[in-house]
Structure 1
Amino acid sequence: MCSAFGGNGNMRFLSFQIHLPFSDTLKYSLLALSIALFLAALIILACKMHQYFSYKATSAVKDKKFVSGSNAEKKMEKNILIKSLSPNFLDVARKEQDSKIQLMQKEMEKLEVHLTPSPPSTESLDNVGSDSDYPQGARGRLKFHLHYNEKTTTLRLAVIEATDLPEYTRDPFVRIRVFSKADEPQSEVQSVLHEYETRVVKNSRNPIFDEDFLFHLKDYPLSNLSIKLEVKDFDKYSRHTLIGETRTVLKDLKVSESFEFNEELQEKSKDIIGEVLVSLKCLPTAQKIEVGILKFKTSSPNIKERDVYARIDVFTNHHKQKHQKSSLRAKSKVTVFNETFLFSLPDLGKSQCLILISLYETLSSGKKLIGQTTVGNQKTKFKDNHWDLMMQTLRQPVAAWHLLHI
């Protein structure tokens, strides 16, 4: 624009057009491009605004859910999820949930055997479900041969077959243990001289094993020896189920004669294989209990170059706490641990507590259970006042020997 002054002193404005050196087609193209960019900017702005308000609304719902602590929003989301699922998938999910609930109820029933004062029970947790999961009744029979050779001091065992095993039997096998009793007449402690297992027979209630085992029994009088055969149902993913057992005392064998047995399987029985020195200390202010594993004593003559360790499982009011393990120790006649472990023990006067102590030895293929013992404030057939002594001397450790069973 330009301006000029007239003679009368008034200012006048003169205007004229600026002509750009572009064609009309280019001008309209630039205009269309500008409009398109403007519309794109508006769309991007609208999307960002939508994302912002959606995020703000979601955050408000989450904050309300966690702050209020009510289950209304959770139930609403669950209902929306259920409605969105197809009927077939929903049925499968419900069936799986029901099966999980049933399994949890079964596990709680198993633990009640150990955590409630009635009925009395000292069954180790490694064998939970071995006998209680199935109806009691006839367990079947086991046929085997025994022959003792006095010249070579060897015992030959031939496991022939098992017959009429219970209906729940799937894949049976036989575990064999040869026990030697201590020389002391008053002692019930035994040692495991030999331990073997037969092969697993698939899908049979009348399995035929036909396996021979040879045991060298030099320096062991027959009067102190016994052989125990346990028929078990193999389980690849869990504990093997005990079907039944039979025991034969070798002192009744006649030298150089073969004996055939066809024994009826009986309920599981316990064998004492050693002792463990345990200390207990109650800390009422901290609501904790201190469990000490001091020593492990065994009469086993077979002390091999193996390491042993102790595992402690504590159950309080039907709840299992995280187990703890001791460090490895070289196995000997008397293995010294001198280690303590702390566990929570709320409401000392009313808490039901079971302490399961398990001794294991390490093998190249894994671990092997040596024996187990239990301590707690429950009534069992093995009378023990260790817990009462601990409660009478608070904040002071009380030590006592406990028998290890297998």
Structure 2
Amino acid sequence: MKKALSTLAAISLLAAPAAADPLADAVKADMPSLLAIYRDLHANPELSFEEVKSAAKMAAEAKKAGFEVTTGVGKTGVVAVLRNGPGPVVLLRADMDGLPLIERTGLPFASKVKATTREGAETGVMHACGHDTHMTAWIGTARRLAAMKGQWSGTLVMIGQPAEEIGSGARAMLEDGLYTRFPKPSTVIAFHDGPGPAGVISYVDGYTMANVDTVDLTVKGVGGHGAYPHLAKDPIVLAARIVTALQTLVAREVDPLESGVVTVGSFIGGTKHNIIPDETKLQLTVRSYTPEVRKILLDGIARIAKGEAIAAGMPEDRMPVMTLKDGITNATFNTQPLTGQIAAAFTERFGKDRVRPGRAQMGGEDFSQFYLADKENIQSLLFWVSGTPKAQWDAAGGDMTKLPSIHSPFWAPDPEVTIGTATEAMVTAALTVLGKK
């Protein structure tokens, strides 16, 4: 514990609040306990919809703080409710799942967990997206808001969400009655860690994360001997044409002032040098912000695939088959006036140097579902807390291309600064919305 406290004392001024106050002092005092929880969560990650132990730890901590706790919501989700008089209902979310990835950080508490994916592959498991910092800050936030009940009025709903990494957990919780079995929020808030100087908060007004569509494209052909291609119809050549033509969707069909991505991440076909296969499979990820661009891209993929097949002389019964996979993620949208109000509160607490407007990203987040479930009546904000350790950031000269990012086997944020900043920020955000006594 002494070592942890000395580490806290050495945290750079970047991670200190603009002025000391009771909240900052309470978070610092709680940090040794939070770091122990963080290391445990980091060393024991669980895959999507398997977050049983993680959920149990969060539930136990919320119960200790005085919340009414329900587990098993949306399979493995946690819902903790704290009623504290009349006022708004605020939902704070942390996601829980790890990634199928072998950790290579070299940390003394690095994950050694092995598991089997839904597809049947044996894999390591790692919190390479920082959900361990999310869960830990969630616990710190629950403790602080419970201890500060005299300063706010309303209802706090804190959820541990499963399966964010496969885009299914938020929807599963909603379908299991999140907004009917429990108080329905007027405001939903979450944070995500990421690369950048540790302790800096960033936010985006409007679209902040993208629609994510996962597309499987089966390109059919007529198999045969590689020495006699004129007797076959080669699906590999056809698939190559399709991949090339797909590049024109964003370049020539999407408004240059809009954003879109069509990436072919997998091209699978054939078994032997001299065999022309019957079919080839392409796997795509498609990103956009607006519904209009999303439709242009998805419709365009189907049209180009069929058009190239016709041009290649494929019969009607050998047209490509396009399939949208489960776990479709909708774009995350930060609303006004909530975004402006909380950004102002962050600036007041942390100072202008630590609170910055950010840029929208093409990554996906199913946090969007909590807003989209009733967007006429719900305000929403997802903000970022940077976590790159100061020594790494300085050594790289602030060049992000030289540093690990989320989903890297080397991602290891500074836990003291990231968790401390996120806890203070989540408490500040909640208090900005909740009515005061």
Q: Higher strand share goes to which structure? A: 1
* TM-score (norm. length: structure 1): 0.25
* TM-score (norm. length: structure 2): 0.23
- 1 or 2 for the larger relative contact order (CA 8 Å, sep ≥6)? 2
Larger Rg: 1 or 2? 1
Q: Higher helix share goes to which structure? A: 2
